[in-house]
Structure 1
Amino acid sequence: MDETSQKIIDATMSLIRDKGYVATTTKDIAILAGVNECTLFRKFKNKKDIVMNGMEQEKWRGNLTPEIFRNVRWELQPDLEMFMEEYMNRITPDFVKLSIGLRAPQIYDETAPLIMKIPRAFVSSLIEYFQSMEQKGKLPHLDFEGLAMIIFSNTFGFTFLNASFDNKLTSINKENYIKTTVATFIQGIPHY
């Protein structure tokens, strides 16, 4: 990727994060990137092409893969805290805002599968973890998908609300929220 193309991608993704896909114009992109619109169209077919190139770059997509959840102790509390912590460390407010900006109908069909990789990696990793805990005799057989969705919803909700309201919604910090959520979750699960 040449420097000019990268400037165009960075400008586009930043503007979409801040204004949304529809409100971001090629003129805005060119101004922020420090190029003229002709250069923009020589490098990319259109705004959607720029976005799709940006989504291929790690810096513009959430870096969440099942591999980051492999450092488990096989103890429910510290492991679930680790899952939530890893998610919250990687899914930054900028990524949350960008993913919201990329949900415009004009581009949703192309971006949704890429955005959905994040929750799928989290939920499937949790389901596999719960199944392994059952195999180890540390959990009874339960609705592991439902349990994974509870943890994901709590994790996503806190991350989304903090990104949306710049930590003004609650005074609870991330660490306390994680500990409280996991403790409450575990007290409702029969485990041994």
Structure 2
Amino acid sequence: MTGETEQKILEAALNLFAEKGYTGATTRVIAEEAGVSELTLFRKFKTKKNLFDTIISQNLEKMKKDLESILINKKFNSNGEFLETFIRNYVESVEENFEVFFLVINDGTGEFEQSLSEFFRESAEYIEKNIGNSNIDPEAFALTIAGFTYIICIEKHKGRTIFNQEEVIENFINNSIKCVQ
């Protein structure tokens, strides 16, 4: 199987898992959407669970690397500069990978709890390293940013426009800066 075929399967599976959930997305329909036979799907991924796990792990790793590429070894001149960079890039990363983020957040099995916990822990470490305010709990702040991001991304994903997203992000950044001063 070529990398192109594998990518088609991964994309079709991600869309169907996000739309129908793990149980509702069948390998037959995934294969049809990808334009391959079900046998081809199983030759590459062996099981539906392996396919699902591959999607989640690859995309969580991509999200992590996207944030790291912006934050690692970068010196920020102020808390405001860090928060604006961190929050905007966090929102962008979740928007670009919304289906995966949605699947992981809503996973009822607890299987991705460790990966999600690690993702939030690393976010908290970036906050602690760059803000250095002992009055701020970095873990609670990281979860606040994640919750905010999830809400605005789900609203956008569902096509609802109950607020101006850019304005809300700007106000959230400004409020966050005030909290750490």
Shorter-chain TM-score range: 0.7 to 0.9
Match of 1:77 in 2: 80
CA contact (8 A) 2:16 2:30 kept: yes
Match of 2:114 in 1: 113
Identity %: 23
Kindly provide the amino acid, as one letter, of the partner of residue 71 in structure 2.
F
Q: Map 1:16-55; keep pairs closer than 5 Å.
A: 16-55=17-56
Kindly provide the amino acid, as one letter, of the partner of residue 69 in structure 1.
L
User: Compared with structure 1, are the counterparts of its residues 6 and 151 closer, same or farther at alpha carbon in structure 2 (3 Å cutoff)?
Assistant: closer
Separation in structure 2 between the aligned mates of residue 60 and residue 75 of structure 1, nearest angstrom: 28
Gapped regions of structure 1 (runs ≥ 5): 132-138
Match of 1:4 in 2: 5
Match of 2:101 in 1: 99
Match of 1:136 in 2: none
Q: CA deviation at 1:49?
A: 0.8
Separation in structure 1 between the aligned mates of residue 30 and residue 61 of structure 2, nearest angstrom: 16
Structure 1 segments of 4 or more deviating over 4 A? 58-61
Separation in structure 1 between the aligned mates of residue 57 and residue 103 of structure 2, nearest angstrom: 16
Q: CA deviation at 1:42?
A: 2.3
How many residues are paired up? 176
Match of 1:134 in 2: none
Match of 2:14 in 1: 13
User: Compared with structure 1, are the counterparts of its residues 123 and 159 closer, same or farther at alpha carbon in structure 2 (3 Å cutoff)?
Assistant: farther
CA contact (8 A) 1:21 1:104 kept: no
- 2:152 aligns with one of 147, 155, 158: 158
Rg larger for: 1
> What RMSD, in angstroms, separates the aligned Cα atoms of the two structures?
2.9
Match of 1:173 in 2: 165
Separation in structure 2 between the aligned mates of residue 60 and residue 148 of structure 1, nearest angstrom: 18
Kindly provide the amino acid, as one letter, of the partner of residue 88 in structure 2.
E
What is the TM-score of this pair, normalised by structure 1? 0.73
Q: Which has the higher helix share?
A: 2
Gapped regions of structure 2 (runs ≥ 5): none
What is the TM-score of this pair, normalised by structure 2? 0.77
RCO higher in structure (CA 8 A, sep ≥6): 1
